Amino acid sequence: MDMKRCFFAAVLCTAVLYAPAQTSVSHYVPGSSVPEGVVYCLPRTVIDVRAVAECIEEKPGPFYQYAERYLAEKDVIVKEKREWRLKDVHIMSHPVPDAERCFVVAVTKKDVAHRLKLSPAGIIEGVNVTERNDPQEPRPRRPELRGHRAEPEHGGPGHAPKPKRRPGEVRPEFDMSVLGEEALVANSIPKMAEMAARQIYRIRESRAALLSGEMEHTMDGVALEATLKEMERTERELVALFTGKRTVTTQQRSYEFTPEEDITNHVIFRISSIEGLLPADNLIGSPVYLNIKGEYHTTPVLTKKEDRAAKGLYYVVPGSAAVEVTDNDAFSVSRTMLVPQFGYTTFLPAALTDDPEVSVRFSKDGTVTYIGR
């Protein structure tokens, strides 16, 4: 009898000794004492509203009154004008750690699931991920608008970022240095305009002669190209003295909002025809609204068996939201996106994450995207 008892005790000790390790996961409150383990967070979606405004500026040339007389030009700017308008709006999103959904995985010699892959911000991206099953693909860059980097919202009321002008765009200033000596020494505006018009016609005649090969002195290809470019630039600046200049500059800003519930007509930013893009609290501009209509996923009721199951890593089943940016008049832009904070947390079975051969990956929205060996 004593021999049997000793045998069963030995078997039981062996079973306990070689039983698979079980992942221990518990909630963690940021700011509390540092736990003995690996802390990870689930994501929370932040909405990025990226706006592009365009400024159209018109200036009459100093000789605009003589454009039709000397150049037969009727399409002439006769009055200064400067006006901003909203050109484009993009609705983007990015994840941040959810302070209310942080967890700590206890680390022991037997633990397997503590091999977590986290983002630089501490959001869980995977578990039991190795170089073999994770090719380390480069992270996609956040989209930029029309070749420009979006500027974050900053500064107090009334602050507006400096407009950007692309290389090669028309400058609003008039270049009087292109005028010939005769025009510069003229003692009246009408006389200067007449001399400038004659200079334009001479440039056109010289260019025609160069292109037709009628010039006495020939040029090589490089010199000819440079000469023609300079002629074109000079003529363009001279003609602008009569017709005026129209320039276009752009301004970009990014506005963030973290949704917690449905909202209607929340002022996300403002647009002024004089100042351009402005913060929401600057009443100079007209309001642009953000509307959010969520589709919420609530925590399902677990059966007794499910509730008794060993709990492994927590992850999120996100809700979604229809996001709209509008001024309630001229335009409306909308997009549907996943919103983790509109969903609920659940867990992977501990037996799954305890297996070192099983790899799990999560998306930026917290959903499970891959489970495999």
pLDDT in tens, 327-340: 988 889 999 999 99
Q: What is the pLDDT of residue 15?
A: 34
Q: What is the pLDDT of residue 261?
A: 94
Q: 143 pLDDT exceeds 90?
A: no
Cα dihedral 209→210→214→220 (10° resolution):
170
The burial of 74, by beta-carbon neighbours within 10 Å (0-12 exposed, 13-18 middle, 19 or more buried), is given as exposed
Percent residues over pLDDT 70 in the chain: 75
Burial 156-167 (b: 16+ CB within 10 A, else e): eeeebbebeeee
Confidence bin at 251 (pLDDT 50/70/90):
very high
For 63, other C-beta atoms within 10 Å of its C-beta total 27
| Distance between CA atoms of residues 370 and 64, nearest Å | 68
Q: How many residues does the chain have?
A: 373
- In order, the DSSP letters of 346-360 are EEEEHHHHT-TT-EE
| Distance between CA atoms of residues 60 and 292, nearest Å | 45
More confident residue, 225 or 182: 225
Question: Mean pLDDT score of the chain, rounded to an integer?
Answer: 79
Range with the poorest average pLDDT among 69-83, 160-174, 266-280, 352-366 = 160-174
Q: What is the pLDDT of residue 150?
A: 36
Q: 44 pLDDT exceeds 70?
A: yes
pLDDT tens track for 263-306: 999 999 999 999 999 999 999 999 999 999 999 988 776 665 55
Q: 176 pLDDT exceeds 60?
A: yes
pLDDT tens track for 46-93: 999 999 999 999 999 999 999 999 999 999 999 999 999 999 999 999
Nearest to 278 by CA among 156, 148, 146: 156
More confident residue, 352 or 361: 361
Confidence bin at 185 (pLDDT 50/70/90):
confident
Nearest to 299 by CA among 340, 342, 344: 344
Per-residue pLDDT, averaged over 103-109, amounts to 76
Nearest to 24 by CA among 110, 101, 128: 110
| Distance between CA atoms of residues 66 and 345, nearest Å | 74
